[in-house]
Amino acid sequence: MGRTPIRHCRNCGAAVAYRIPDDGDTRERAVCPQCHTIHYENPLTVVGTVPVLGQKVLLCKRNIEPRWGKWTLPAGFMELGETTAEGAQRETDEEAGAQIEMGRLFTLLSVRRVGQVHLFYLARLLDDSFYPGHETIEAKLFAEDEIPWDELAFRTVRTTLECYFADRKAGAFSLHHLDIE
């Protein structure tokens, strides 16, 4: 998964061992030999938007790793205390400083290899004033024939943009539920 293994118990600090717990579980977990805490590692949810103004879509040039300098739709890890849609709107504000009206859920993409689920919502930009945060070098509107396809940061962004332009051409937007291998 590309994740760092758990070495110590978050509860008591003792060194953990990966083994199948005795509670009927079937998977190896990091188990604390001292306080018996079982540490579960689960997929993360990434939430973002497809911010649209007229015929153009807003992309952000990343100022952080991974994929520094590549273009992305505004998106990031969902936080505790928010809904998926609230998270998507927050990320759009943080990364692009863009004011939007949220639309429908547009893509739901399982990225098994990295243990993530990505959700992108359609969104309508209220104006073309952007105030990118520290995670973004530049926020810019792109027409379909201007999209930097070879400079996109993530496959889920590529897939979501492909679905967006295909649906726009077809004249109807629907939910795209896909797995990214």
Cα gap 112→118, rounded to integer Å = 11
Does 42 help bind a copy of itself (rule: CB under 8 A)? yes
Report the residue number, 99 or 110, with the smaller CB distance to a copy of itself: 110
Q: Classify strands 100-111 and 116-125 as parallel, antiparallel or unpaired.
A: antiparallel
Q: Binding marks (x or -) toward a copy of itself, 133..162, rule CB under 8 A?
A: xxx---------------------------
Candidates 22, 24, 127, 145; binder of a copy of itself (CB under 8 A) is 24
- Binding segment for a copy of itself among 12-20, 65-73, 122-130, 155-163 (CB under 8 A)? 12-20
Does 171 help bind a copy of itself (rule: CB under 8 A)? no
Report the residue number, 78 or 147, with the smaller CB distance to a copy of itself: 78
Would you call 127 exposed, middle or buried from its count of C-beta atoms within 10 A (0-12, 13-18, 19+)?
Answer: exposed
Q: Which phi and psi (to 5°) does residue 156 adopt?
A: -65, -30
Cα gap 63→70, rounded to integer Å = 8
Report the residue number, 45 or 142, with the smaller CB distance to a copy of itself: 45
Q: Binding marks (x or -) toward a copy of itself, 63..102, rule CB under 8 A?
A: --------------xxxxxxxxxx----------------
Report the residue number, 4 or 170, with the smaller CB distance to a copy of itself: 4
Q: Which 3 state secondary structure label does DSSP give 125?
A: strand
Does 110 help bind a copy of itself (rule: CB under 8 A)? yes
Please say whether the beta carbons of 59 and 132 come within 8 A. Answer: no
Tokens of 156: 């889920």
Question: If we measure between CA atoms, which residue out of 92, 91, 96 comes closest to residue 140?
Answer: 96
Q: Closest separation between CB of residue 147 and a copy of itself, Å?
A: 27
